Amino acid sequence: MSTLNDIVIVGGGPVGAAAALGLAQAGHQVTVLEARASLMADDRRTLAIAHGSRLILERFGAWPEAAQVTPITRIHVSQKGHFGQTVLTAQDADVPALGYVMRYNALVESLAQALQRSSVKVITDAMVDAVTSHSDHATVSWNSTTQPQALETRLAVLADGGRALTAATFGAPKESAYTQVALVAQVVTTKAHHGLAYERFTPNGPVALLPFGDHYALVWTGAQIEVEALIALTEKEFLIRLQDYFGDRAGLFTTVTGRSWFPLTLKIIKQVTQPHAVCIGNAAQTMHPVAGQGFNLGLRDAAALCQLAVGMSAAQLGQADMLARYVKSRHCDRSMGIGLTHALVVGFSNNWPLLPLLRGRGLMAMNMFPFARRALARVMMFGWQ
């Protein structure tokens, strides 16, 4: 057999890059294979990153500089057309900020810079086409511009964002396409945000305004046909529609830029390990962006794997014992995180009889009891432990 690599990570997106940093910090030899020509991304997403995720990224030396991030100090939650609202605050949760808003690109850039300072070897232009498990190692293969390539490794970590390779390696995911897609854009309003984010549930899907710099990042979910029509509107028409839909809590909408949309789906890999291989992040679970949990959950996958690898010898990497401990450590956070996100989408995106009333009561109860708000904020920041 050719030289056995300690760990090969497929995908240099935010979860794969974070895992690489943590595993290298744990003293292991790590190689990242990324399909793109560079680790830098060209993506219009803006992410809300929980306080708990900040602590992980800081530990990995990859927290972006202050100018790139905007703290969320309060989150206003409401339902359109019905009573009931609540406000989660950083003060209630006893943290400096509930979370931080940054561009996907800024996060990836900060991770790429940290990778450059680390011992991790990064190979770009490497579109992996197979990960094959054997009894004592896994083989990761791809076609470079010149010839087929392969690496043999004790542990292959799939962080490809949940593409065909994951299904080919771990079996087809349980999948359900939401009837919603997400429109993303940057919007300016007449009112300063002071760190206040809005999550507003509507029968067509949630709409979120995230404080970002001196404006808001908008995530507006709805049926694809409606979202495409919204993108085709002139700026003036779009702003009128948004104002009408969202109301004037955040002030008057004056400018919109960078409109585009993302498909939304729920994909869950049932068995996230194979001999000498594991999938993490969106590869293991792809979720709706409501409540901004996808990356945060994926980062906790990476952090759990890194924690297990601390103090492990190279020979122990990828062994059945390590993989079983990983699955056990992620079971609760993963299933509850997926379940809560899905329940929010299904439970709030309708006007079924009695549900608006029940939801309204739930929001009111949350508003009355600080311990309930604190408990919810902690779950959103640190996951289910």
Ligand X SMILES: Cc1cc2nc3c(=O)[nH]c(=O)nc-3n(C[C@H](O)[C@H](O)[C@H](O)COP(=O)(O)OP(=O)(O)OC[C@H]3O[C@@H](n4cnc5c(N)ncnc54)[C@H](O)[C@@H]3O)c2cc1C
Binding site for ligand X (CB under 6 A): 10-16, 33-36, 45, 47-48, 126-128, 159-161, 163, 165, 182, 184, 219, 262, 281-283, 289, 292-296, 298
Q: How far is CA 28 from the centre of its chain?
A: 25
Nearest CB to ligand X, comparing residues 245 and 262 = 262
Smallest gap from residue 103 Cβ to ligand X (A) = 11
User: Which of these, 289, 283, 259, lies nearest to 269 by C-alpha position?
Assistant: 283
- Cα R_g (the chain), whole angstroms: 21
Shortest Å distance, C-beta 227 to ligand X: 11
Residue 196 Cβ vs ligand X, minimum distance, rounded to whole Å? 16
Distance between CA atoms of residues 114 and 315, nearest Å: 27
Backbone dihedral angles phi then psi of residue 223, each to the nearest 5 degrees: -65, 145
Residue type, 259: R
User: Which of residues 264 and 312 has its CB atom nearest to ligand X in the complex?
Assistant: 264
Q: Is 41 or 312 the residue whose CB approaches ligand X more closely?
A: 41
Residue 295 beta carbon to ligand X: minimum distance, rounded to whole angstroms: 3
Least distance to ligand X, CB of residue 288, Å: 8
DSSP states of 3-56: PEEEEEEE--SHHHHHHHHHHHHTT--EEEE-SSSSS------EEEEEHHHHHH
Torsion over CA: 69, 71, 77, 78 (sign): negative
Of 30 and 312, nearer to ligand X (C-beta) is 30
53, 51, 59: which is closest to 25 by C-alpha?
59
Ranked by CB distance to ligand X, the top (closest) residue is 13
327 or 355: whose CB is closer to ligand X?
327
Q: Least distance from C-beta 39 to ligand X, angstroms?
A: 7
In angstroms, what is the minimal distance from the CB of 365 to ligand X?
26
Torsion (CA) 201, 44, 236, 191 in degrees, nearest 10: 60
Give the nearer residue to ligand X in terms of CB position, either 31 or 293: 293
Q: Check: CB of residue 54 under 8 Å from CB of residue 61.
A: no
Q: Which is nearer to ligand X, 126 or 268 (CB)?
A: 126
In the complex with ligand X, the residue whose CB is nearer, 123 or 364, is 123
Minimum distance from residue 353 beta carbon to ligand X (Å): 31
- ∠ CA 384-19-177 to the nearest 5 degrees? 60
State the DSSP code for 281: G
What is the nearest approach in angstroms of ligand X to the Cβ of residue 184? 5
**Nearer Cβ to ligand X (17/308):** 17
* Shortest reach from residue 10's CB to ligand X, in Å: 5
Q: Nearer to ligand X by C-beta: 163 or 241? A: 163
370-373, long-range: CB < 8 A, 24+ apart: 370/92, 373/86, 373/87, 373/88, 373/89, 373/92, 373/93
* Beta-ladder partners of 155: 7
Contact (CB, 8 A) for 252 and 139:
no
Distance CA 144, CA 4 (A): 20
Q: To which H or E segment does residue 303 belong?
A: helix 294-309
Give the count of alpha carbons within 13 A of 324, CB side only. 4
CB-based contacts of 358, cutoff 8 Å, min separation 6 = none
